[in-house]
Amino acid sequence: MSDIQEKLPEFKSGFVAIVGAPNVGKSTLLNQVLGEKISITSKKPQTTRNRILGVVHRPASQLIFLDTPGVHRAKRPLNIRIVETALSALGNVDIVLVMIDVANPDPESEGFIVKKLQEIKRPVVLVLNKIDLIKKPALLTIMDNWTQFHPFEAIIPISAILGDQIEELIKAIEALLPKGPAFFPEETITDLPERFIAAEMIREKVFRLTGQEIPYSTAVTIDSFSEKKKGSLVKIDATIHVERSSQKGMVIGKNGSMLKMIGTEARKEIERMVGTKVFLKLFVRVHKNWSKDTKALRKLGY
């Protein structure tokens, strides 16, 4: 063995679940550590509905992050599925990141998560997000309070949106990773197909641009996605599913203005992802009460 090989640390790799209440910044954190957007974000809770995987490549480690939907006490069939998706990730990971919004605590959801922590036989790191929105004495009090709930391996205050303390967080995770080879090739940043990410980007624009009621009643499916060839135009047909005719009118807007805005904003993001021009055609379809129908939930990918 050469001197160089002897000095290299053993390679480490592992899966890291990001869990927390709705809207604490889990998807923002994933996009920040990747340096690329694969997980959609909005100020509305329950934006993330599926498990999103992102791979961070470091010289001596590979960190595979799982961005999970917000954990909360769910009643509607869709929300129950969403929470089940989040909790199912916990049993198959090496490290759990519990993320808290220090500026807007959610005692009910946090209490539910604390209860679940007692069942987890995994190293847990507490991530205190949005530290840019509170003063230091308040942050120290929050840190002190949380140490009473669980023996965390580390407590790391961060601002996911500003990128503050992200390197410190990654180093804390690296220290806890098991030794092992890389799971993914170096060029991989996610296992998700472009079709899925495109559908999510369209859904994000619905979340961001429409009123309070509409986002939770919408799902997006990709009907066709033409293969990308060098320098060619990617053509995408997608359907926005809503639950009532009145919602269809709101998503389309006066003279199609809202649908056009959703399409324009989504197209720009999809073009950044695929690296070429995109022709995006959107349809709106009424799928009555799909979020309460287990057969429809399966059909729409939940």
Nearest to 17 by CA among 75, 94, 85: 94
Report the pLDDT averaged over residues 266-283: 92
Lowest mean pLDDT among 169-178, 244-253, 285-294: 285-294
- pLDDT recorded at residue 76: 58
According to CATH, what is the number of the domain 194-299? 3.30.300.20
- Residue 241's φ and ψ, nearest 5 degrees, are -95, 130
pLDDT band at 4 (very low <50, low <70, confident <90, very high): very low
DSSP annotation string for 200-243: HHHHHHHHHHS-SSSGGG-EEEEEEEPPP-TTPPEEEEEEEEES
pLDDT(300) > 80: no
Look at residue 238 in the predicted model and tell me its pLDDT: 95
The CA distance from 137 to 76, in Å, is 39
Which two tokens mark 37? 């957007």
Task: With beta carbons less than 8 A apart as the criterion, state whether 164 and 203 touch.
Answer: no
Same fold: 3-176 with 194-299: no
For the segment 56-63, the average pLDDT, to the nearest whole number, is 96
Q: Which two tokens stand for residue 156?
A: 């790391």
Q: Give domain limits for the chain.
A: 3-176, 194-299
Using the Cα atoms of residue 213, residue 215, residue 216 and residue 217 in order, give the sign of their dihedral.
Answer: positive
Enter the pTM of the model. Answer: 0.74
Per-residue confidence at 49, pLDDT binned at 50, 70, 90? low
How far apart are the C-alpha atoms of 178 and 166, rounded to whole Å? 20
Q: List 219's β-bridge partners, or say none.
A: 241
Cβ neighbours for 207, distance < 8 A, ≥ 6 positions apart: 40, 42, 44, 47, 215
Helix axes 26-34, 166-176, angle to 10 degrees: 90
Encode pLDDT of 105-162 as tens digits. Answer: 888 888 888 888 888 788 999 999 999 999 999 999 999 999 988 899 999 999 999 9
What tokens appear for 209 in the block?
A: 């641009």
pLDDT band at 211 (very low <50, low <70, confident <90, very high): confident
Do the beta carbons of residue 184 and residue 153 sit within 8 Å? no
- Taking the CB of residue 200, how many other CB atoms lie within 10 A of it? 23
State the maximum Cα–Cα separation within the chain, in Å, rounded to a whole number. Answer: 71
pLDDT of residue 271: 92
pLDDT score, position 65: 94
Give the best-scoring range by mean pLDDT among 100-104, 111-115, 294-298. 100-104
Q: Hey, which residues does 281 pair with through a beta bridge?
A: 237
Superfamily of domain 3-176, CATH level 4: P-loop containing nucleotide triphosphate hydrolases (3.40.50.300)
Whether the pLDDT of residue 219 is over 60: the answer is: yes
Q: How far apart are CA 293 and CA 123, in angstroms?
A: 37
Within 10 angstroms of residue 298's Cβ, the number of other Cβ atoms is 10
pLDDT at 6 > cutoff 50 = no
Which letter does DSSP use for residue 275 in this model?
T
Q: Is pLDDT at 42 greater than 80 in this prediction?
A: no
- pLDDT of 174 > 60? The answer is yes
Beta bridge partners of 99: 20, 127
pLDDT at 181 exceeding the cut of 90: yes
pLDDT band at 170 (very low <50, low <70, confident <90, very high): very high
Please provide residue 174's backbone torsions phi and psi, each rounded to the nearest 5 degrees.
Answer: -55, -40
Q: How far apart are the first and last CA of the chain?
A: 50
Span 36-52, mean pLDDT?
Answer: 65
Rounded CA gap, 7 and 96, in Å? 30
d(CA 193, CA 136): 42
Which of 120-124, 172-176, 192-196, 243-247 is modeled with the greatest confidence?
172-176
Q: What is the pLDDT of residue 59?
A: 94
pLDDT of residue 158: 97
Helix orientation angle between 257-274 and 194-209, rounded to the nearest 10 degrees: 140
Question: In this predicted structure, which of 9-13, 46-50, 117-121, 256-260 has the lowest mean pLDDT?
Answer: 46-50
Token pair in block for residue 101 = 């919004």
